[in-house]
Structure 1
Amino acid sequence: MITFEHPLSERVRNFLRIEYLFKRFQDEIVCSDSVWAHHLALATLFDIMECAARAELKLDILQELERQKQMMAQNRDRQSALLLQEDLKQVAQGLLGIQQKFGQHLRENEWLMAIKQRMLVPGGTSPFDVPSYYYWQQRPFEERKADLQNWIRTLMPTYDAISVLLSILRKNSREVNCFAKHGNYQHPSLAQNIHMLSIEVDEADRAIPEVSANKYFTHIRFLAVSDERLRGSQLDQDIRFKMIMSSFDPVME
């Protein structure tokens, strides 16, 4: 089975993008000692800087953390709620402990910003263009890895907080088994507090869900997997799938 997550708010959309980039960065620095893997990791670091640069992101995260803490406080009789409340407290403290703007220490690093600019040019980081970067690439794997980990260290509190919130979102969900006749499915209006839809479909169906959702109705149509086009043609076959409705608030059955 393969699960496609579809955010229903701008806040969740930003959280998912940032989570995706941080996970990609971690994979690129630990899964290979290749120079090219670390080149991609550095490019991903720059993507994280841009994706999480919104001034209101930190406020969005802190507000949701506080709201979740208040809801957890109402469930003091449950051990899991107490543990989650402690997690929420720790990630909030970590985020509040970062006084500077997100990625400010990186933006003040002239060498890194020069490489970031050169990456916008095809082949712009070749050895003769940026000799100092080529020198860095020839250093031992562990030294390069340590540099990358050091550069991302002050960004991790943002990732840690988003990870906790997305974990809450994914766990606080309701599943519905659905049937898309001729690749089409319509669902009555979702509850207003649904923040993400996840569509779980069998990989053997070679189908990609396209979701349109608002407060009045949800329309899901399945497109054929295409090796040549970004969007394949609509499938005319029946598809069985699972729809998972997730919320930061309690989900009503």
Structure 2
Amino acid sequence: MSVLYEHPLNERIRNYLKLEQLFVQASKCQAEYITDHYQVYFNALFAIFDTLDRNDIRGELIKDLERLEQHLVVWSKSPEIDTKALEQNLKQIVGYVCQLRSNKQAWHELKHDKLIASLKQRFAIQGGSSLFDLPQLQFWLSRCQTQIASDISAWLAKFALLQEAINLVLRFIRQRGNFELIKSDTGFYQDNGEGLLLLRIKVDKNANYYPTVSGNRLRYSIRFMLPCEQTGRKYSKQTTQFELARC
């Protein structure tokens, strides 16, 4: 058993990974548990809003999908390629690009939802999301599970296209790198990052160290840390073993 750590090497992939995680968090909050987990759900929802507001995710996705389409066309000339799978992926990519171009920002409609808009203002205030400050939320939570489930599904559906496109792009990026076993005598490793988008690091679950990564598209370094009661963490100088996939 191992723990998988991922680290993006540019801001675009960082945003994709962030949104991927936020979509999962929001999707896991089912109607029957929303009363106890409403803060997780709405914090994730509003973090998605903020990430999309500050970045041209749609434009970046279109570029990445078009690049991926070009790569697949080149790969199609290989005699070893799975033609059926390739055609299916190409069809999916072309479909996403067409939808992203025509369906400009479906999630913008949520900003005009009266409940969502009123909650977003309060959730932006630290400690402002308690139910006694949000009677409109408490009223919504008191509705039947069927109605709550319908609302949750309708809200998340506004992001479905972005979520599916991001998942596809990240899947292909992750498949670019194979895991390689690496040993370090000093708890430190560095290498050339040119052309890389993402680092994936596997560490044995029983190991008493974890990786911290710094770097960019030109160079990266991995420093392994040990938990420390006094300072929270400290550098590991022991021999470390891990698996690394450069994507």
After TM superposition, the score normalised by the length of structure 1 is: 0.86
After TM superposition, the structure 1 = structure 2 runs for residues 161-172 of structure 1, keeping only pairs within 5 Å, are 161-172=165-176
Q: Quick one: which of 84, 99, 103 aligns to 1:98?
A: 103
Is 1:160 paired with 2:164?
A: yes
Q: For 1:52, what is the secondary structure of its paired residue?
A: helix
Q: Which moved more, 1:90-99 or 1:123-132?
A: 123-132
Task: Provide the residue aligned with 2:155 in structure 1.
Answer: 151
Return the offset for 1:209.
0.6
Conserved in 2, the CA contact under 8 Å of 1:65 and 1:88?
A: yes
Residue deviations 1:45-95 (CA, integer Å, cap 9, x gap): 111111122352211110110111122122335322222111212222332
Moved more, 57-66 or 80-89: 80-89
Match of 1:222 in 2: 224
Contact 1:33 1:141 in 2 (8 A): no
Q: CA deviation at 1:126?
A: 4.0
Mind listing any 5+ residue stretches in structure 2 that lack a counterpart? Answer: none
In the TM superposition, what are the counterparts of 1:80-229 in structure 2 within 5 Å?
80-99=85-104, 101=105, 103-187=107-191, 189-190=192-193, 192-214=194-216, 217-225=219-227
Partners in 2 of 1:149 and 1:234 — Cα distance? Answer: 45
TM-score, length-scaled by structure 2:
0.88
Q: Which blocks of at least 5 consecutive residues in structure 1 are unaligned?
A: 247-253
Partners of 2:228 and 2:45 in 1: CA distance: 30
Structure 1 position 226, deviation (Å): 5.1
CA distance in 2, matches of 1:98, 1:197: 32
- Distance in 1, Cα, partners of 2:75 & 2:96: 20
Residues 115 and 11 from structure 1, CA distance in 2 versus in 1: closer, same or farther, beyond 3 angstroms? same
More helix by share: 2
Residue in structure 2 matched with residue 236 of structure 1 by the alignment:
237
State the shift of 1:174 in Å. Answer: 3.1
Aligned residues: 241
2:28 corresponds to: 27
1:127: how far off? 4.3
Moved segments of 4+, more than 6 Å: none
